[in-house]
Amino acid sequence: MNNDPNLVRITSQILIVGVLIFLAYVGGRISRRFGLGEIIGQILGGFVGGPLFMTYSKKIANQYPHVEELLRWSFPLREVHDFAINSFVFFMPIYLGVILFSITDETHLDRIKENWRFSSFNFLAQSALAFGLVSCALYFLTDLGWPISCIAGCLAVGTSPCAAFISMSRRQVEGKFKTVWSQTMVLEAMAEIFIVFLMVSFFVDGGQAWDLRFIGKSFIIIAVISIVGFWLIRTAASNSFSSDEIKGVVNDSKLKNLLSSDTIPTVNIVFVIWSVIAVIVGISLGLKVPFMLPVIFAGVITANVHNQYIFDSLRIQDLMGFFHLIFFALLGVHLDVDTLLSKETFNIALIYFVMRLIGKLSGGYLSCSIFATRPEAKKYLPLLFVPNMGATGVAFIVLHQHNNPLLDTFINSLVPAFILSEIVGAPLINWSVKRWKQILIDDKQSQAQLENSNKSSDIEKIPLESLFHDRVLLNVELRTKEDAIKMLCSELMRNGDITDLQATISLVLEREKLSSTGIGDELAIPHCRSADVDYPMAVFAYVREGESIDWDSIDGAGVRYIILLVSPLNEPQMHIEAMKNITKCLMKEGFIEGLHTAAKRKSTREWLKNQ
């Protein structure tokens, strides 16, 4: 027998982590079968494989000492279990950083201008009510005191984005519903992180954070890390988009299509983002600044100056599903059995959870009543803010090293409150997103019926404004035609014009394999017919000035102007007439320049009506 303590520790650690992941996977499959989603089962699987397993293992070892002696050579449970979990917990802030980065895709300046009133009021209403109710309830009903109660109120402001992100990505929900949620989440995360950072430093660490020089220095550090992080993502992702490495090397067209397919560059970008965010989080922790702020700022910069494909890459279900499972398994591991049996910590957790729930739902309902254009939003949108395992919560669990007894008591109560919010919130979010997706589908069908009823039997004239609406993208940064097709299809998805993004992308790429849609004169018109639409719709994109895309055009020139056209599957004549209308307009002198100017002035539809 090998008694090397390092080997014993490593092998035992591997075994424990393997058991946790397996139990979380099985639990997720079981809870999903009951219609509750996977998150509940994954958390409970982590709890069973972690605290529950250890509790009963220790009891058995105490009752039967000879069993423990027999197993000690290979599996010293008491020592190794805590080491295994603690050495693996670094994953939690990195994972949450990736999720926070991913939701910043809705912080593009145009979408902020469109929704900032709704998002800002939603953030203020929910934050004020959650902070006030939690702080006052804990101050008057417990012995935590006012400083700790205020810190608790700040933590109540935050929302865990994980469950909603998973559900909306899986169902491909886009539009205002997602935009308001994402922008509110970003505001909550920034406010929660910064305020808690100040309050903990003031109440617990002696007031260092209230030094203006210290605050200014922290923001300079955060800004530098954010810019460097964005530059790394931009550079690496841009290189991943390019398939130059296979051009001129592979002569077989089928092999070239395989190597240039969706999976390879997408996975590359996922790994790039994970590695860069890990670097950002690590440097921030080392420099003692709030480690999620640089992630958020880097995401905001990326959303405004880079293309959407970076964010779409973070929605690969099979790959991201594995990361989701690990996070929620680790969440379940941190639920302490002794805490659940302690009356004091249980009461604090229950008060915190109930007061925060009331504040969040009330604030969300109030903001939807004032700003939402659809009454259904009051029923579904507030439910997205029930989970509470946000950035600062993870920081407290992972990094808490204070010696304040009251703060220790509160943090021991915080974990079950967080996990309870995830367990209650996950099925509510799953139901809410599912219902909202059905609303979007019903709207699309109703709109199609209305357009069909108004459509004349003569379809020769398809107005340009009905084709493009305001779907004109300016100065986009693209490297390949695959990148362009995915970005333009994503724009249709974001506007609610299509409901199955991947299917539309596949149809356009399949059509592109038959022959190039580069028609010359720096123009390309990728297109397809799809059962997902009932009326032709188009997106116009202008490539950034001075750049072009290799599209295998008939004249050999690069492409600077791209029009994506998606038409109904069962209306081939409508597709032909839409193509005719587009090509006729492209032949008009000054059309491309005029559309560019109109898009800049936000008057696209009005301009198209006169063409």
Based on the domain organization, do 272 and 292 belong to the same domain? yes
Based on the domain organization, do 158 and 306 belong to the same domain? yes
The per-residue pLDDT for 306 is: 62
Angle, helices 405-454 vs 317-333, to 10°: value is: 150
Q: How far apart are CA 564 and CA 579, in angstroms?
A: 10
When pLDDT is cut at 50, 70 and 90, the band that residue 270 belongs to is: confident
The per-residue pLDDT for 266 is: 60
Look at 306 and 609; give whichever has higher pLDDT: 609
Give this prediction's pTM.
0.71
Based on the domain organization, do 417 and 476 belong to the same domain? no
Look at 114 and 359; give whichever has higher pLDDT: 359
Based on the domain organization, do 209 and 272 belong to the same domain? yes
The per-residue pLDDT for 366 is: 95
Based on the domain organization, do 66 and 170 belong to the same domain? no
- Domain carrying residue 48: 5-88
Q: Is residue 212 part of a domain?
A: yes
User: Looking at the predicted structure, is the pLDDT value of residue 223 above 60?
Assistant: yes
Least confident window among 35-44, 101-110, 455-464: 455-464
Based on the domain organization, do 355 and 485 belong to the same domain? no
Angle, helices 162-171 vs 91-103, to 10°: value is: 50
Last residue of a domain, one of 408, 441, 474: 441
Based on the domain organization, do 260 and 211 belong to the same domain? yes
Last residue of a domain, one of 28, 63, 88: 88
Q: What angle do CA 143, 149, 152 make, to 5 degrees?
A: 130
Q: Is residue 65 part of a domain?
A: yes
The per-residue pLDDT for 429 is: 92
When pLDDT is cut at 50, 70 and 90, the band that residue 133 belongs to is: very high
The number of beta carbons lying within 10 Å of the beta carbon of residue 143 is 11
In this predicted model, what pLDDT tens digit does every residue of 90-99 receive, in sequence order?
888 888 888 8
Q: Is residue 531 part of a domain?
A: yes
Domain count, the chain: 3
The per-residue pLDDT for 78 is: 59
Q: How far apart are CA 25 and CA 46, in angstroms?
A: 9
Based on the domain organization, do 203 and 186 belong to the same domain? yes
Based on the domain organization, do 377 and 472 belong to the same domain? no
Q: Is residue 208 part of a domain?
A: yes
Based on the domain organization, do 399 and 480 belong to the same domain? no
- CATH number of the domain that 370 lies in? 1.20.1530.20
Q: How far apart are CA 97 and CA 274, in angstroms?
A: 9
Mean pLDDT of 247-255: 39
* φ/ψ (deg, to 5) at 136: -65, -40
CA distances to 47, 84, 96, 254 from 20, in Å: 9, 11, 19, 42
Q: Is residue 419 part of a domain?
A: yes
Q: Is residue 451 part of a domain?
A: no
Based on the domain organization, do 151 and 224 belong to the same domain? yes
Mean pLDDT of 9-14: 71
User: Looking at the predicted structure, is the pLDDT value of residue 76 above 60?
Assistant: no
Q: Is residue 453 part of a domain?
A: no
Least confident window among 12-16, 275-279, 439-443: 12-16
Based on the domain organization, do 405 and 491 belong to the same domain? no
Q: Are 49 and 329 in contact (CB under 8 A)?
A: yes
In this predicted model, what pLDDT tens digit does every residue of 376-424 receive, in sequence order?
889 999 999 999 876 666 666 655 555 566 666 777 777 788 888 888 9
Last residue of a domain, one of 88, 108, 129: 88
Q: Is residue 448 part of a domain?
A: no
213 CB-near residues (< 8 Å, 6+ apart):
none
- CATH number of the domain that 573 lies in? 3.40.930.10
The per-residue pLDDT for 401 is: 52
The per-residue pLDDT for 361 is: 95
DSSP-assigned states of every residue in 203-264:
HTS-SGGG-HHHHHHHHHHHHHHHHHHHHHHHHHHHHHH--TTTTTT---HHHHHHHTSSHH
